[in-house]
Amino acid sequence: MADDRKIDEFSGVETTGHNWDGIEELDNPMPKWWINIFYATVIWGFIYMMFYPAYPLISSYTKGFLETSERTELAIELEAVKSSRAIFVAKLDAATLEEVRNDTDLFNFALAGGRSAFSVNCSQCHGSGAQGSFGYPNLNDDEWLWGGEIEQISYSITHGARNTDDDDALLSDMPAFLRDEILSADEIKDVANHVLKISSQEHDQAAAARGTVLFEENCAACHGEDGSGLSDMGAPALNNGIWLYSGNLDTIVETVSNSRAGVMPAWGGKLDSATIKQLAIYVHSLGGGQ
């Protein structure tokens, strides 16, 4: 090959001696700037290896003079986050709900914690946006079964309703008016028409008129004279168009005939008090808090 090297007649530069169908290659030296950068990266590589973890050994690796790594840095950062969290959790534990609401940092911390605790523990029943579904109350609106003040919400979460594991669970049982033979099927139709009337829906006027007295006698004690609900009884308003079990005639007849008795678990034994506070604050903040 070396035999084929020659001086190119146009540029005066020696060729490499390679020849492809008459095309030849000049043997120009590599540019200075390129060589310099190449050496600089090699030197940089050595310096980096001296200071940072770089080279695998049999059961470990070279640690470098700085003895640092992103893994240890992450651990330090996590430790810092954890200890600042611990401070907040301790503060939260000590504060009353009212005090938390007046402390912006603590409040925001509680809100974020409440949101994530909600998606873990509550969303399977109340929906990921707390919007509720058939039989599971929407927690975003201003309609409350058991009251929307923050202490009431906290109580609902801590003790739940109609469950068997908490002696202080909220309790109020709407009778099953047909099954318990308190009202006849016709009377239930009448009182259901009264409910349609007070919720401003289409109704049979004669039936609703008959149902009005039945409502006063059988329902008003829990749902209120005008049907606006009583949170002491866990009885929802029937006159505002917001329904737990939907408000058409058939569903109302079914509710009154057999009652529903929705069960909300008690969280007092399952979640710590700081988490329950966070949840109460989160739920209260959803827009319907009183």
Residue numbers of the site for ligand HEC (CB under 6 A)? 118, 121-122, 124-126, 135-137, 139, 144-146, 153, 156-157, 161, 172, 174, 177, 191, 195, 218-219, 221-223, 233-236, 238, 243-245, 252, 255-256, 260-265, 267, 279, 283
The CB-of-211 to ligand HEC minimum distance in angstroms stands at 8
User: Which CB, 110 or 279, lies closer to ligand HEC?
Assistant: 279
User: Which CB, 53 or 280, lies closer to ligand HEC?
Assistant: 280
User: Which CB, 89 or 252, lies closer to ligand HEC?
Assistant: 252
The CB-of-46 to ligand HEC minimum distance in angstroms stands at 58
User: Which CB, 53 or 236, lies closer to ligand HEC?
Assistant: 236
Q: Are 242 and 57 in contact, with CB atoms under 8 Å apart?
A: no
**Residue 265 to residue 182: CA distance in whole angstroms:** 29
Tell me the CA distances in angstroms from 190 to 231, 245, 250, 263, one per residue in order.
Answer: 25, 19, 12, 28
Structure tokens that stand for 263 in this block: 């069960």
**Residue 100 to residue 285: CA distance in whole angstroms:** 12
HSE, CB side, 13 Å, CA atoms: give it for residue 256: 30
The CB-of-99 to ligand HEC minimum distance in angstroms stands at 20
User: Which CB, 111 or 222, lies closer to ligand HEC?
Assistant: 222
**Residue 128 to residue 30: CA distance in whole angstroms:** 64
The CB-of-50 to ligand HEC minimum distance in angstroms stands at 54
Amino acid at 163: N
User: Which CB, 207 or 238, lies closer to ligand HEC?
Assistant: 238
Structure tokens that stand for 78 in this block: 């996590």
The CB-of-49 to ligand HEC minimum distance in angstroms stands at 53
The CB-of-109 to ligand HEC minimum distance in angstroms stands at 17
CA-based nearest residue to 52, from 28, 30, 71: 71
**Residue 6 to residue 22: CA distance in whole angstroms:** 13
Structure tokens that stand for 197 in this block: 């009337």
